[in-house]
Amino acid sequence: MDYFVHKNLQKFLEGELKFFLQNEVLDVDELIKANDGSSPPVLRARTVRDIAERIISFLAQIEDFQKRLFEKKKFVVQTDYMVTLDQVPDDLYDEILENDEQLEQWRDVYNTDQWDTDLKWQGEFDQTFLNNHPYVMIDTALFDDEFKFKLLSDFDDIEEVTDGVLVNGENFQSLNLISEKYQNEVDCVFIDPPYNTGGRDFIYKDRYQHSSWLSMMADRLALAKNLISDEGAFFATIDDNEKTNLTQLCDLVFGSSNFVADIAWEKRYTRSNNAKMFSSVKDGLLCYRTTDKLSLLREPRTEDSDSIYSNPDDDPRGEWTSVSYVNPASKEDRPNLVYSIENPITGKEVTHPTNAWKYSPETHSEHVEEDRLYWGEDGDYEYPRLKRFLSEVGGLVPVDIWDYEKTGTTDEASIALGHMFGEKVFDNPKPTRLIERIGRIKYNGNKLEQGYFLDFFAGSGTTGQAVMNLNREDNGNRKYLLVEMGQYFDSVLRPRLQKTAFSNEWSEGVPENRDGQPQFIKYHRVESYEDSLNNIVLSKGQSRQQALPIEELNDYVESYLLEFESEESGPLLPESAFSDPDGFELKIEQNGASREPTTVDLVETFHYLIGANVTQYWSAIHQDRKYVVTECDVDTESGVETVLTAWRRTEDINYEEEKTWFDDEFDSESYDRVYVNGESQIAQAEPLEITFREKMEESPNVA
């Protein structure tokens, strides 16, 4: 079910009913004959209309309810962290070594049983192992909450240290949830959506009707566009099957004036002899910008392109190449570009017999002053040439054919991923080199060394690996934001990033070296629309409704029942959620099968709803209850606000005691805003329930 598909069902059905009544129920001739209201045709029409209107209003009620559930921001139902050991405080090491699940995960991800001596495996996980392997990653999902908070409270600015955020969720729902936080923050989107090829061997759904595929893409692109900054860019791979459709859609979403390029990427260099007509060796890579503030793109120079530069005259400005001074246009056509030039070596005055020069007399004088004219080693050139210095030329203008040698192929991608895992784990990954090439493009002359890369069809996590590679290459601080709904999230995407952080080379599932890099990854799971539906419970037989007279009861059932009787359902945030935040659970479908009761992460959900950049986390015990307190920065229209959020069970609190303790411990006076669940006397505290509810029900930002 998709957002844009929601037309107004009620209006549509009312129109249909009118048509039906006029054409099928009423016989106009009969009506003309009968002029009192009790004639059979009029009675018949009225009965049909009354029944139909009731059905319509009942259906409309269901539709509105579904729409509300679909559009409401979904809950975060898990937040965990994968962190390389170099960033984990030493005093947690003992606990790590005692955690068998963690050690098992390491055996599995790093394949330690197969390590050779270079990798320093001494047969067991002990302190020496931890000291020798700083880029092994712990996964907080395997530890308890206390461990997680001990780890988190060690950082002064979590937002700053976070290299990547991974979301396991359906991408419309996930983008909708994170849109407040990342609005205008993303510099580059790369997506590789299902191509809708009808291939049966695809694990993920790849067989939509063209129209459903388009509507699926339309919703997501509209949400994604709002996340991209004004100078940012959007890239999407696509094959011929849906390329025209996707191009038209992008024209619509980004505006056709924001089309940048339709790049042909040579994804393979062998032809498939199974093809009946043409064997396609390219994919399209569409590029759009969001505004015309992005007006210049450059690719880094290559050794090849630099090889034409040299310094035969030892110019102190370094290597240079030269271009002709002669204009292809004739003297008659460009009379203002006609003048004589002195060759300073021979002293001769030079003019061209037929053609003008390329530059105006003023620009020419500047060239002379800057000593930019080259007349050959002995001054024996007939006409001068203009020197262009390597230090002055920016990057290369990107071209729209990307050959496999510089960009990588799909085969290379599968082989590399196979080496990492020791077996085939994912069909059709993209090569990291393709995304690295995108990531090296300079925007308006600036190299993107910071900023977010978003991929909301993340698959096996290629974009994450590519961003890590780019950062390793130039010491950059780019961050990645990956969304994937499939089970590969756990079986491929996360382990792939763990592996990449540990070693940059793998063979048959075993690392080739310990050449890793520090990494701090936050990951979430997000409630799906199906989860929302599965958790709706209607409260039966509310006494007030039972006492209604029959006419009103009918109205109630037709139009209001769902809204009132679902009030206490988990997805719609019952009041009770706020009195015991740790005890608020939903049944969440896990790995496509069982529905497990799962604690909703209200703290993180709230952060996303208000668009918070979380800097610090604390956990404390007071009055026999756990407090989770976070410090965040929130962008508002009037600037950045510092915000404190505090969550605890509200039953039997002594508010005065709490105030004295809390204000002292967390210095609540010093924040612009303090949100607390339920009642409280904490300085500046405001209840967060109203904001939570309002933000949760806000319409998706697809303008």
Query: CB of 67: closest distance to ligand SAM in angstroms?
Result: 18
Tell me the window of 367-375, 453-461, 549-557, 671-679 that interacts with ligand SAM (CB under 6 A): 453-461
Tell me the three state secondary structure of residue 63. Answer: helix
Tell me the three state secondary structure of residue 104. Answer: helix
Using the Cα atoms of residue 565, residue 570, residue 572 and residue 573 in order, give the sign of their dihedral: positive
Q: Is 486 in the site for ligand SAM (CB under 6 A)?
A: yes
Query: Which residues 6+ apart lie within 8 Å of 2 measured at CB?
Result: 172, 212, 215, 216, 218, 219
Q: Rank residues 493 and 562 by Cβ distance to ligand SAM and give the closer one.
A: 493
Query: CB of 698: closest distance to ligand SAM in angstroms?
Result: 21
Q: What are phi and psi of 232, to 5 degrees?
A: -90, 175
Query: CB of 432: closest distance to ligand SAM in angstroms?
Result: 8
- How many Cβ atoms are within 10 Å of 58's Cβ, its own excluded? 15
Q: Is 284 in the site for ligand SAM (CB under 6 A)?
A: no
Q: Is 571 in the site for ligand SAM (CB under 6 A)?
A: no
Q: Rank residues 76 and 483 by Cβ distance to ligand SAM and give the closer one.
A: 483
Q: Is 140 in the site for ligand SAM (CB under 6 A)?
A: no
Q: Rank residues 174 and 613 by Cβ distance to ligand SAM and give the closer one.
A: 174
Tell me the three state secondary structure of residue 106. Answer: helix
Q: Is 433 in the site for ligand SAM (CB under 6 A)?
A: no
Q: Is 483 in the site for ligand SAM (CB under 6 A)?
A: yes
CA-nearest of 543, 568, 566 to 61 is 566
Q: Rank residues 228 and 458 by Cβ distance to ligand SAM and give the closer one.
A: 458
Distance CA 304, CA 89 (A): 47
User: Based on the number of CB atoms within 10 Å of its own CB, is 338 exposed (0-12), middle (13-18) or buried (19 or more)?
Assistant: middle
Pick from 185, 484, 531, 631 the residue near ligand SAM by CB under 6 A: 484
Q: Is 643 in the site for ligand SAM (CB under 6 A)?
A: no
In sequence order, the β-bridge partners of residue 471 are none
Q: Rank residues 192 and 299 by Cβ distance to ligand SAM and give the closer one.
A: 192
Task: Annotate each residue in 156-195 with x if it binds ligand SAM (CB under 6 A) or - if it does not, as one string.
Answer: --------------xx--------------------x-x-
DSSP per-residue codes, 133-165: -TT-EEEGGGS-HHHHHHHHTT-S-HHHH--EE
Query: CB of 484: closest distance to ligand SAM in angstroms?
Result: 5
Tell me the three state secondary structure of residue 426. Answer: coil
Query: CB of 288: closest distance to ligand SAM in angstroms?
Result: 18
- Ramachandran class of 508: left when φ > 0, alpha when ψ lies in -120 to 50, beta otherwise: left
Q: Is 408 in the site for ligand SAM (CB under 6 A)?
A: no
Q: Rank residues 429 and 678 by Cβ distance to ligand SAM and give the closer one.
A: 429
Pick from 459, 516, 570, 678 the residue near ligand SAM by CB under 6 A: 459
Tell me the window of 93-101, 278-286, 427-435, 620-628 that interacts with ligand SAM (CB under 6 A): 427-435
Query: CB of 426: closest distance to ligand SAM in angstroms?
Result: 6
Pick from 179, 462, 519, 613 the residue near ligand SAM by CB under 6 A: 462
Pick from 227, 373, 485, 612 the residue near ligand SAM by CB under 6 A: 485
CA 64 vs CA 187, 595, 700: distances in Å = 36, 26, 15
What is the footprint of ligand SAM within residues 80-109 (CB under 6 A)? none
Query: Which residues 6+ apart lie within 8 Å of 633 measured at CB?
Result: 159, 612, 613, 615, 640, 641, 642, 643
| Identity of the residue numbered 585 | E
Query: CB of 459: closest distance to ligand SAM in angstroms?
Result: 3
Q: Rank residues 164 and 429 by Cβ distance to ligand SAM and give the closer one.
A: 429
Query: CB of 399: closest distance to ligand SAM in angstroms?
Result: 23
| Identity of the residue numbered 623 | Q
| Identity of the residue numbered 275 | A
Query: CB of 427: closest distance to ligand SAM in angstroms?
Result: 8
Count the residues of the shown chain that bind ligand SAM, applying the rule CB under 6 A: 18
Q: Rank residues 435 and 676 by Cβ distance to ligand SAM and give the closer one.
A: 435
Pick from 418, 429, 581, 611 the residue near ligand SAM by CB under 6 A: 429
Q: Rank residues 413 and 577 by Cβ distance to ligand SAM and give the closer one.
A: 413
Query: CB of 4: closest distance to ligand SAM in angstroms?
Result: 14
Q: What are phi and psi of 596, to 5 degrees?
A: -105, 140
Tell me the window of 97-105, 396-404, 456-464, 537-545 that interacts with ligand SAM (CB under 6 A): 456-464
CA-nearest of 561, 620, 600 to 692 is 600
Tell me the window of 112-120, 340-348, 385-393, 455-463 that interacts with ligand SAM (CB under 6 A): 455-463
DSSP per-residue codes, 674-694: EEESSS--STTEEESHHHHHH
CA 194 vs CA 239, 445, 640: distances in Å = 10, 33, 39
Distance CA 198, CA 367 (A): 61
CA-nearest of 250, 267, 268 to 259 is 250
Distance CA 148, CA 98 (A): 15
- How many Cβ atoms are within 10 Å of 444's Cβ, its own excluded? 11
Q: Is 430 in the site for ligand SAM (CB under 6 A)?
A: yes
Pick from 65, 149, 204, 359 the residue near ligand SAM by CB under 6 A: 204
Q: Rank residues 164 and 384 by Cβ distance to ligand SAM and give the closer one.
A: 164
DSSP per-residue codes, 160-207: HH--EEEEES-HHHHHHHHHHHHTTTEEEEEE--------TT-SS---
Which residue number is nearest to ligand SAM in terms of Cβ?
459
Q: Is 267 in the site for ligand SAM (CB under 6 A)?
A: no
Q: Rank residues 170 and 185 by Cβ distance to ligand SAM and give the closer one.
A: 170
Helical H segments across 441-560, by residue range: 462-474, 488, 494-502, 529-534, 543-546, 550-555
Q: Which two tokens stand for residue 423?
A: 């077996």
Distance CA 205, CA 198 (A): 9
Q: Rank residues 460 and 680 by Cβ distance to ligand SAM and give the closer one.
A: 460
CA 200 vs CA 356, 393, 418, 427, 699: distances in Å = 64, 49, 21, 12, 36
Query: CB of 170: closest distance to ligand SAM in angstroms?
Result: 5
Q: Which two tokens stand for residue 618?
A: 């604390």
**For residues 701, 245, 190 and 289, what is the CA-based torsion angle, rounded to 10 degrees?**
-70
Query: CB of 513: closest distance to ligand SAM in angstroms?
Result: 24
Tell me the window of 29-37, 265-273, 478-486, 600-608 that interacts with ligand SAM (CB under 6 A): 478-486
Q: Is 409 in the site for ligand SAM (CB under 6 A)?
A: no
Q: Rank residues 204 and 309 by Cβ distance to ligand SAM and give the closer one.
A: 204
Tell me the window of 385-393, 459-467, 606-614, 682-690 that interacts with ligand SAM (CB under 6 A): 459-467
Query: CB of 596: closest distance to ligand SAM in angstroms?
Result: 21
Q: Is 460 in the site for ligand SAM (CB under 6 A)?
A: yes
Distance CA 453, CA 190 (A): 7
Q: Rank residues 6 and 385 by Cβ distance to ligand SAM and give the closer one.
A: 6
Instruction: Write out the residues near ligand SAM by the rule CB under 6 A.
Output: 170-171, 192, 194, 204, 426, 428-430, 457, 459-460, 462, 483-486, 488
